[in-house]
A and B are shown apart, each in its own frame.
Chain A
Amino acid sequence: MFASKASLTSLLLLALGTAALANCGGGAGGKSAEAPSATTGTAAESAPGAGMEVLLCDGQTKTVVPPGTSGTAIAGDLMTQWLRKNPNSSWEAEERERHTLEPSADNDELVGRVNGQTYGSISHQDVALWKTETERVALAGSSVFHDAGALGSTDGVSCDMCHPHAANTHPETYPKFQPQLGRVALLRDMINWCIEHPVRGKAFDADDPKLRALEAYILAQRKGKTLNYGKH
């Protein structure tokens, strides 16, 4: 009995394997894991005995179902569990709804064109990927920008308290001579100045992902402004 159950589980995993793994693998590296697409199997059909164990492609989430349970029900149960364990899985959509984001440039006119080995023939999928990935970085910046905790603030102050929707950040004017500092400042210098002073946190390293994300968000929000470095 035990043996047959174990082998059934591995069978099911095999059946789900290819598609599910592809889904789990893609799009990591954001703030949290991508939601794996719910996977439905057909192996539940003729399971003998009391229950059957089904494992999600993350290798951890599992459920025990009686024989005859439909694939949709199994998938629904696994998804519910997974979402409970990953409450931030829809952070991008939530951040977008809360604070909005200027859309990144539309590259649809490039679809179908070929530009050497780097790009190959540009597909709709390519263009969509560029947009999703670019906006994801800006959205990550938005979530840091609006969160005193993520900024390492020690006084409860976050960027949005003076700069709603990144207003009055004028990234298009940097680099410029900053009289108060007595030297030329880049946008990231000003971000770090704000983090050290009004926010009373610790300045980020130049390659800190949070600083990169903040820069991305601020630049995104000033879309369409003419670059004019040195402008006061």
Chain B
Amino acid sequence: MDREKARRRVGHESIETRHLRERGELFQALKSLDRRSFMKVSAAAFGAAAAQGLLPPHSFQPVSVAHAASPTGTPDTPKFTFAYISDSHLYDRNLNDRFVNQLMRAVDDINAMDPQPDFVLYGGDLAQLGKPVELELGAQILKNIKAPRRMMVGEHDWYFDMGEKWRELFGEPRYSFDHKGVHFVVLNSVIEKDFWTERKMTALERMMTVAGLDNGIQSRFTVGDEQREWLKKDLEKVGKDVPLIVFSHSPLYKLYKAWNFWTDDAEQVQAILGKYKDVTVIHGHTHQLLTNRIGNISFHGMLSTAWPWPYAPEGMPKLTIQMGRPDPFNPHDGIGDGSVQVHADGLVDKIYNLWNRNPVTVTRQYLASNGAKDKPAAPLLASY
């Protein structure tokens, strides 16, 4: 008996076991409640979340409750919301079912949003090796999204057939549209200078080279002369005080060259965008919480549904509050999807819906005050 006690004392309960136990207990407790008490419990839970400055994830929210209890104490209803899914890196489903399931989970998340987002942006890198079977699989899964869908291209979608299949499925990779007073631009920011012809690479070798984040043979990402000219033309018809939201796969600034967390002609693109009053750039590729502000341009990263990247060893933007260190033992940690709340003034709140963590909101006040106000909670464990 004593031995049993001793074993229990030293017996370790892993964080996953503890999480599952606590979760089980919560659901057990909820089951035994009637509706009235349930509302009480749930309101208390949301109150606690709001007190920590967290907006609840859209998968189980009464939005009005959260907003009534928002940190500023005033109702803060956005003009409209759009959602995002990004960086799913699909292989053929027979090779890797995990990435497929994770993309399907994101689609379920977005479909469960109430109210529904005005549209869903797919942030690029739908495929891992740009193969037709991967892109077709992705297209098939994304068809299940109920809200209208907008597509962006990533390097993993492109360098097997130089975008042929992607364009066949989704159309041109760069375009613009207007929505409720905001001008949206979608760019192909993953254009690389030819490194493959001289090396006599096959299409797959070229793709494998680009697919390696730390592969130094490839070139750096650019938007390119031709597309920058297009951007200038496209913006000519847009008033300088119209809010701009730009989607690019790579961050439109220079963070860390060795991993292409980088756009080589970023300054030139920024110069074009800098003439506008409110500009927000939403990018994929980095698979992490990433916040930056250069001049009047705000930059937000998107989460991946496949895996989180480590933070760059140098060059981190001052405004970035890192996400908690992902637990490798939980394949759903450090990843997820999210949404963007666009307010009447054209500024945005960016919501990172981390699947295994509290959601993180990077507010427009945080960026506008250059980090002085509304700072997101720092992670318990920072990255190494």
Which residues of A come within 8 Å of B, CB atoms? 97-100, 146, 154-157, 160-165, 167-168, 170, 173, 179-182, 193-194, 197-198, 232
The 8 A CB mask of B289-310 against A (1 = contact, 0 = none) is 0000000000000000001111
CA distance A72 to B117 in the complex (A): 72
Does B383 sit at the interface, judged by CB under 8 A?
yes
Using a CB-CB cutoff of 8 Å, which residues 204-232 of chain B contact chain A? Answer: 209, 212-217
Closest to B307 in A: A162
**Contacting pair B12 A179 (CB below 8 A):** yes
Residue in A100, A194, A197, A232 whose beta carbon sits within 8 Å of that of B381 in the complex: A232
Q: Separation in Å of the A94 CB from the closest CB of chain B?
A: 9
**Contacting pair A155 B98 (CB below 8 A):** yes
Majority secondary structure of chain B interface residues (helix, strand, loop or mixed): loop
Cβ–Cβ < 8 Å partners of B309 in chain A: 162, 164
Cβ–Cβ < 8 Å partners of B313 in chain A: 167
Query: Number of B interface residues, CB 8 Å?
Result: 31
Q: Tell me whether A99 and B216 are in contact in the complex, defined as CB-CB below 8 angstroms, given that A157-B96, A182-B12 are known contacts.
A: yes
Majority secondary structure of chain A interface residues (helix, strand, loop or mixed): loop
**Contacting pair A179 B310 (CB below 8 A):** no
Cβ–Cβ < 8 Å partners of B259 in chain A: 164-165
CA distance A180 to B217 in the complex (A): 37
**Contacting pair B214 A165 (CB below 8 A):** yes
CA distance A23 to B128 in the complex (A): 43
Residue in A155, A161, A170, A180 whose beta carbon sits within 8 Å of that of B15 in the complex: A180
Residue in A98, A163, A173 whose beta carbon sits within 8 Å of that of B310 in the complex: A163
Q: List 7 A-B contacts (CB under 8 A).
A: A100-B216, A146-B214, A155-B95, A165-B214, A180-B16, A182-B14, A193-B328
CA distance A173 to B325 in the complex (A): 15
**Contacting pair A156 B258 (CB below 8 A):** no
Cβ–Cβ < 8 Å partners of A156 in chain B: 91, 95-96, 128
Does B76 sit at the interface, judged by CB under 8 A?
no
CA distance A167 to B214 in the complex (A): 10
Q: Which 10 A-B pairs have the closest CB atoms?
A: A164-B214, A168-B310, A180-B329, A155-B96, A182-B12, A167-B310, A164-B213, A170-B384, A165-B214, A156-B91
Q: Tell me whether A180 and B307 are in contact in the complex, defined as CB-CB below 8 angstroms, given that A97-B216, A99-B216, A156-B96 are known contacts.
A: no
Q: Separation in Å of the B310 CB from the closest CB of chain A?
A: 4
| Residue from A161, A198, A232 whose CB has the most chain B CB atoms within 10 Å | A161
**Contacting pair A165 B258 (CB below 8 A):** yes
Cβ–Cβ < 8 Å partners of B98 in chain A: 155
Closest to A190 in B: B328
Cβ–Cβ < 8 Å partners of B97 in chain A: 155
CA distance A122 to B209 in the complex (A): 41
**Contacting pair B14 A168 (CB below 8 A):** no
Cβ–Cβ < 8 Å partners of B308 in chain A: 162
**Contacting pair A98 B215 (CB below 8 A):** yes
Using a CB-CB cutoff of 8 Å, which residues 165-222 of chain B contact chain A? Answer: 209, 212-217
| Residue from A99, A146, A157, A173 whose CB has the most chain B CB atoms within 10 Å | A157
Does B331 sit at the interface, judged by CB under 8 A?
yes
Cβ–Cβ < 8 Å partners of A157 in chain B: 96
**Contacting pair A198 B328 (CB below 8 A):** yes
Q: Separation in Å of the B127 CB from the closest CB of chain A?
A: 12
Q: Separation in Å of the B118 CB from the closest CB of chain A?
A: 33
Q: Tell me whether A194 and B217 are in contact in the complex, defined as CB-CB below 8 angstroms, given that A164-B309, A170-B384 are known contacts.
A: no
CA distance A95 to B23 in the complex (A): 47
Does B327 sit at the interface, judged by CB under 8 A?
yes
Using a CB-CB cutoff of 8 Å, which residues 1-20 of chain B contact chain A? Answer: 12, 14-16
Cβ–Cβ < 8 Å partners of A98 in chain B: 209, 212, 215-217
